[in-house]
Amino acid sequence: METVTITMKNQPALYLEADNVSPDVFAGKTAAQIADLHVFEGNAKGKLGAYFDVNGNAGATAADTRIVVKGDVKKVKYLGMKMSAGEVVVEGSTDQYAGAWMSGGKMVVRGNAEAFAATAMKGGELVIEGNAGNYLGAAYRGDWRGMSGGKILVKGNAGSDVGMYMLGGEIAINGNVDVHVATHAEGGRVIIKGNAKSKIGGQLVDGEIIIFGSIDVMMPGFKYVDDKELEVDGAKAKFAHYIGDTGERHKKRKGQMIYGNLYKKI
């Protein structure tokens, strides 16, 4: 696997849109060709090389291309957007749309990632070692087809609207989450090791939410059914099992109503 290292040298005055920073675009390009790719600062079209030092050539395909992003990229958007394979490692924190619409490969953000990370993710893996912003792994506005596959791990906290319209895949958050988790979800699994605030699982059609910490206010549409023992990444624990959203529509299987499930650690 070939590694391309890009290092921020000239900070943008505003924000930088670097949707070209993805293994799919870099694949088959030399450092010089990569430096020549365009980026946008507002409506000003510039070259990647004008903002970043570029070292190393990309592999022949996305799959054998690894991108390391160094320096302060807190004001850089769209890193790893639409990547389908290969690897992106952001050594610091980054702005919105990290790994948005990604379908494969692996992206690691060592710091924080702002809102809309992994929007409508289809596959692959996103790891955020710091905190994630709002709308992590959520659908794009108006779309009922949210995250459908892949895995997201956040080692810190996450903002509001995690996994909105989620259809599949898994989101694991080691810290706490803000309001609204898995709203409108119709599949997939969200694991929260820390605490949740409120509005959890609103309008949930199907899918699974597992919470180890506390919930400030439970949605009225969630009904306690029983206690269940679950095994979550290796560790067994006892959970209070709720079904919901009982106010929402649900599919039927063999005349049986299929609800979404919420598990809260006892």
Give residue 71's identity as a one-letter amino acid code.
Answer: G
**Residue from 51, 52, 135, 263 in contact with another protein (CB under 8 A):** 135
Range in contact with another protein (rule: CB under 8 A) among 48-56, 141-149, 207-215, 226-234: 141-149
By C-beta, is 76 or 89 nearer to another protein?
76
Question: Judged by CB under 8 A, which stretch of 47-55, 63-71, 177-185, 233-241 contacts another protein?
Answer: 177-185
Q: Is 241 in the site for another protein (CB under 8 A)?
A: no
157 near another protein, rule: CB under 8 A: no
Q: Which is nearer to another protein, 41 or 91 (CB)?
A: 41
Residue 146 within binding range of another protein, rule CB under 8 A: no
- Scan residues 69-98 and list those touching another protein (CB under 8 A): 77, 96-97
Put the strands of the sheet holding 44-47 in their side by side order.
Answer: 44-47, 38-41, 16-17, 76-77
How many CB atoms are closer than 10 A to CB 53? Answer: 15
Using CB under 8 A as the binding rule, whether residue 50 contacts another protein is answered as no
Which range in 2-10, 28-36, 48-56, 247-255 contacts another protein by CB under 8 A? 247-255
Q: Is 48 helix (H, G, I), strand (E, B) or coil?
A: helix
Closest distance of CB 263 from another protein, Å? 18
What is the helix, strand, coil percentage profile of the chain, to 5?
5, 40, 55
Q: In sequence order, what E strands does 12-165 have?
A: 16-17, 38-41, 44-47, 52-55, 65-70, 76-77, 87-90, 106-109, 125-128, 151-154
Rounded Cα distance, 226 and 122, in Å: 33
The DSSP bridge pattern shows strands 256-257 and 252-253 to be antiparallel
Other Cβ atoms less than 10 A from the Cβ of 43: the count is: 5
By the 8 A CB rule, do 133 and 104 touch? no
| Comparison of 32 and 143: residue with beta carbon closer to another protein | 143
60 lies in the binding site for another protein (CB under 8 A): no
- Nearer to another protein among residue 57 and residue 134 (C-beta): 134
219 binds another protein (CB under 8 A): yes
AA letter at 48: L
Residues in Cβ contact with 132 at an 8 Å cutoff, skipping those fewer than 6 apart: 112, 113, 117, 154, 156, 157, 158, 159, 162, 173
According to the binding rule CB under 8 A, does residue 125 interact with another protein? no
20 binds another protein (CB under 8 A): no
For another protein, the binding residues (CB under 8 A) are 13-15, 17, 40-44, 77, 96-97, 115-116, 133-135, 140-144, 159-161, 165, 178-180, 183-184, 198-199, 202-203, 217-221, 223, 245-249
